[in-house]
């Protein structure tokens, strides 16, 4: 499994939302870290082919994803940033609807829905309306739909947005368990979402990839004259501040 982006660029008018982005993703969890407007969603929308790129290539196992078309979409799971959709549906109804959109064969759908409901611990509430769910449960429904069809590539755009710390930690644990044997890209502006689970962290700023390294490497990558913001030891937040130069707002 290899998802390879080379010089991928996306413009909105004069603005480059993503500038010549190059990186190769293999099995593992990648944290895409950056402030609002850094280009995280743009990167994910390009990989999911929700927006057209202005330049560069995106290849999965050596073939451009535009050429792969549906066969790439079939191995892709996507948890979008926006929420509040389909509130009137039940968890099961919502998943059935998305399973059909995802071209999962009808006879396989009931079993597949049960599988993803169990993965996200929602089996007991499958007949309840999404509007009655807590924020954490709603995010788990979105995670469940991303897992339909057992995707090799999982794209999670700010999965913990709007969650309280307890729910955030819970969702993070689900993601970590689901991530095995997949390529997982997780966008966030919250360092603690990915610090413990990402094998590699990509720092994005104003559409540019500033740095890509393991959390450990990032911690030791700071120049000797950089001082921690508080106390005498560095945290990953200090690294974020050094490279991205703004407050990661918790």
Ligand X SMILES: Nc1ncnc2c1ncn2[C@@H]1O[C@H](COP(=O)(O)OP(=O)(O)O)[C@@H](O)[C@H]1O
The partner residues of 200 in beta bridges, in order of sequence, read 30
Least separation, in Å, of the C-beta of 51 and ligand X? 7
49 Cβ partners below 8 Å, 6+ apart? 65, 66, 72, 73
Q: Residue 21 or 94: which CB sits closer to ligand X?
A: 21
Binding site partner of 39, from ligand X, Mg ion, none, Cβ cut-off 5-8 A by kind: ligand X
Binding site partner of 137, from ligand X, Mg ion, none, Cβ cut-off 5-8 A by kind: none
Least separation, in Å, of the C-beta of 183 and Mg ion? 19
Least separation, in Å, of the C-beta of 243 and ligand X? 15
Least separation, in Å, of the C-beta of 40 and Mg ion? 5
Sheet holding 63-64, edge to edge: 15-25, 3-12, 55-60, 63-64
Radius of gyration of the chain measured on its C-alpha atoms: 18
Binding site partner of 98, from Mg ion, ligand X, none, Cβ cut-off 5-8 A by kind: none
Dist. CA 121–CA 53, nearest whole Å: 37
Kindly give the residue spans of alpha helices, DSSP state H, lying in 129-235: 135-147, 165-178, 191-194, 215-219
E strands within the chain? Answer: 3-12, 15-25, 28-33, 55-60, 63-64, 76-79, 153-157, 183-188, 200-205, 208-213
Query: Nearest residue to Mg ion, using CB?
Result: 41
Q: Residue 40 or 126: which CB sits closer to Mg ion?
A: 40
Q: Residue 42 or 90: which CB sits closer to ligand X?
A: 42
Q: Residue 124 or 250: which CB sits closer to ligand X?
A: 250
Least separation, in Å, of the C-beta of 216 and Mg ion? 26
Q: Residue 37 or 135: which CB sits closer to ligand X?
A: 37
Binding site partner of 215, from Mg ion, ligand X, none, Cβ cut-off 5-8 A by kind: none
Chain positions contacting Mg ion, by CB under 5 A: 40-41, 81
Dist. CA 213–CA 200, nearest whole Å: 5
108 Cβ partners below 8 Å, 6+ apart? none
Dist. CA 234–CA 2, nearest whole Å: 33
Binding site partner of 42, from ligand X, Mg ion, none, Cβ cut-off 5-8 A by kind: ligand X
Give just the sign of the alpha carbon dihedral 66, 2, 20, 188.
positive
Q: Residue 183 or 187: which CB sits closer to Mg ion?
A: 187
Chain positions contacting ligand X, by CB under 6 A: 12, 15, 17, 34, 36-42
Binding site partner of 120, from Mg ion, ligand X, none, Cβ cut-off 5-8 A by kind: none
Least separation, in Å, of the C-beta of 220 and ligand X? 26
């Amino acid at each position: 499994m290899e998802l390879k982006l080379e010089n991928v660029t996306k413009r909105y008018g004069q603005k480059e939302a993503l500038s010549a982005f190059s990186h190769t993703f293999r099995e593992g969890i990648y944290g895409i870290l950056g402030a609002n407007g850094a280009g995280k969603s743009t990167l994910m929308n390009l990989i999911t082919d929700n927006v057209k790129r202005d330049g560069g290539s995106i290849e999965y196992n050596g073939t451009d994803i535009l050429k792969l078309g549906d066969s790439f979409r079939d191995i892709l799971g996507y948890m979008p940033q926006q929420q509040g959709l389909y509130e009137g549906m039940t968890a099961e109804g919502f998943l059935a609807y998305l399973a059909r959109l995802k071209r999962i064969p009808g006879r396989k759908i009931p079993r597949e829905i049960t599988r993803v409901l169990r993965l996200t611990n929602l089996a007991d509430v499958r007949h309840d309306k999404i509007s009655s769910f807590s924020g954490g449960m709603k995010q788990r429904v979105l995670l469940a739909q991303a897992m339909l069809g057992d995707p090799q590539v999982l794209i999670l755009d700010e999965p913990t947005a709007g969650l309280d710390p307890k729910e955030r930690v819970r969702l993070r644990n689900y993601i970590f368990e689901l991530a095995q044997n997949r390529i997982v890209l997780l966008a966030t502006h919250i360092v603690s979402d990915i610090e413990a689970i990402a094998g590699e962290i990509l720092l994005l700023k104003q559409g540019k990839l500033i740095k890509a390294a393991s959390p450990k490497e990032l911690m030791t990558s700071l120049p000797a004259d950089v001082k921690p913001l508080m106390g005498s030891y560095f945290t990953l937040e200090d690294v974020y501040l050094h490279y991205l130069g703004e407050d990661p707002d918790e």
